[in-house]
Structure 1
Amino acid sequence: MKWTLTLLASGSLLLSGCLMSREARVESDYSYAGQFRRYRTYEFVSGDGMNSDTSKLGEAVRDAIRVRLKLQGYHAARRRPDLLVNFRLFEGDMRFRGYAQDDFTRWVKNGYVEDEETPQDSRKGYQPVRMLLAEGTLLVTLIDNRTNRAVWNGYASGVNIPAGPRGEVILRRSVRSIFDQYHVFTAGYLNGQTPAGADEE
């Protein structure tokens, strides 16, 4: 990555970052049944609003997610992707239910997965935590395409989107902050393996 920005551009980015992070709260939660080491490919859920191709803000979010997933070894796949990616921007304050959980990175690193065969007394259980997310929230959800169940949520609150290009910059920064919570590289990625079924770029 090149860090050759002009002093003026650097100052502008730092200022916009400070304005965004002043109230920003970035959190995530996950499903204990998620097969995180198995996922290698993804596709976006289609829909209206930000999820549609006609939205510039939606495309900014989609592009930022593509960049981040590619850096972590994931590939886009139109046919039978492992993960479906959904995102939504909520305006104003929002009451949200998260979960008090063990560190996600440690959970994945240790290879823990709960399934139907996991004894009831060995299951972690979910401890709900009610939160008030203020002044706009960007929510990104990863869905296991095989089970059609959400396996990871990442969200940033305090995301105020002004009109024009600055709004796109803030959304891209928000996506990066959200995916800083998702420390998962695909299996074999660091060894140079390409996922089967991935679309050619």
Structure 2
Amino acid sequence: MKLFVLLLVGLSMALSGCLMSREARVESDYSFSGQFRRYRTYEFVSGDGIASDTSRLGEAVRDAIRTRMKVQGYRPAKRRPDLLVNFRLFEGTMRFRGYQQPDFSRWVKTGYADDDETPSDQRQGYSPVRMLLLDGTLLVTLIDNQTNRAVWNGYASGVSVPTGPQGELILRRSVRSIFDQYHIFTEGYLQGNNGGGSSE
């Protein structure tokens, strides 16, 4: 009987975790000036709150991001990283401006990116979309370290984070869901050669 009760409790906890992650809305947007094919290394932006090294929840997010970046061929670098990674957990509902854009993977595959020399009449246009994000939003931003511009945002809204290990698990799942929107592997990584820029 005890075994049955333990199995029932375990199953209900697993289902509640699935339901929480299923309710989260996951979206992303990107900059047309992002040089996604050349990014190979990254480092975290230091800060306060959840981004701080002393926060257990912050370290759970950081560790999940490290794992995902490694899987996609990116290497950590303290000195002159290509990308800076920032993340923040917002409480409450919030209004957010996203963008209606072509599919990210297809756009990167074209190899096109706006730069300072791109004539204004040939630049990609942004179509803003106003969104109401539900209570609790985890936002991950990738910043081009050379230009100091944000090149990619991924976010999950409706993320309810209880205290303790369950909260850490939910944040890890949210990071995985967010990075499912970022389909970029460093060039040659899938063939066993981790060098060069980035590609699908």
- The two structures have a TM-score, normalised by structure 1, of 0.89
What are the Cα deviations for residues 30-73 of structure 1, in whole angstroms up to 9, with x where unaligned? Answer: 00000001000000000111111110000000000001111100
Say what the alpha-carbon RMSD is for the aligned residues. 1.6
Superposition misfits of 4+ residues, deviation over 4 angstroms: 7-11
Q: Is the 8 A contact 2:45 2:85 kept in 1?
A: yes
* Structure in which a larger fraction of residues adopt helix: 2
Q: 1:10 to 1:109 in 2, by over 3 A?
A: farther
Q: Deviation of residue 192 (structure 1)?
A: 2.0
Percent of residue pairs bearing the same amino acid type:
73
Bigger radius of gyration, 1 or 2?
2
Report the counterpart of residue 3 of structure 2 in structure 1: none
> SS in structure 2 opposite 1:47?
coil
Residue type of the alignment partner of 1:18 = L
Kindly indicate whether residue 157 of structure 2 is the aligned counterpart of residue 157 of structure 1.
yes
Q: How does 1:109-120 map to 2 (within 5 A)?
A: 109-120=109-120
Q: Is the 8 A contact 1:41 1:195 kept in 2?
A: no
Kindly indicate whether residue 102 of structure 2 is the aligned counterpart of residue 102 of structure 1.
yes
Query: How many residues are matched?
Result: 189
Separation of aligned partners in 2, 1:142 and 1:14? 32
Q: 1:14 to 1:105 in 2, by over 3 A?
A: farther
Residue type of the alignment partner of 1:81 = P
Q: Is the 8 A contact 2:133 2:158 kept in 1?
A: yes
- The two structures have a TM-score, normalised by structure 2, of 0.89
Q: Deviation of residue 10 (structure 1)?
A: 6.7
Report the counterpart of residue 27 of structure 2 in structure 1: 27
Separation of aligned partners in 1, 2:20 and 2:80? 40
Report the counterpart of residue 4 of structure 2 in structure 1: none
Unaligned runs of 5+ in 2: 1-6
Unaligned runs of 5+ in 1: 1-6, 197-201
Q: Is the 8 A contact 2:143 2:151 kept in 1?
A: yes
> SS in structure 1 opposite 2:102?
coil
Q: Deviation of residue 195 (structure 1)?
A: 4.6
Separation of aligned partners in 2, 1:128 and 1:68? 28
Kindly indicate whether residue 17 of structure 2 is the aligned counterpart of residue 16 of structure 1.
yes
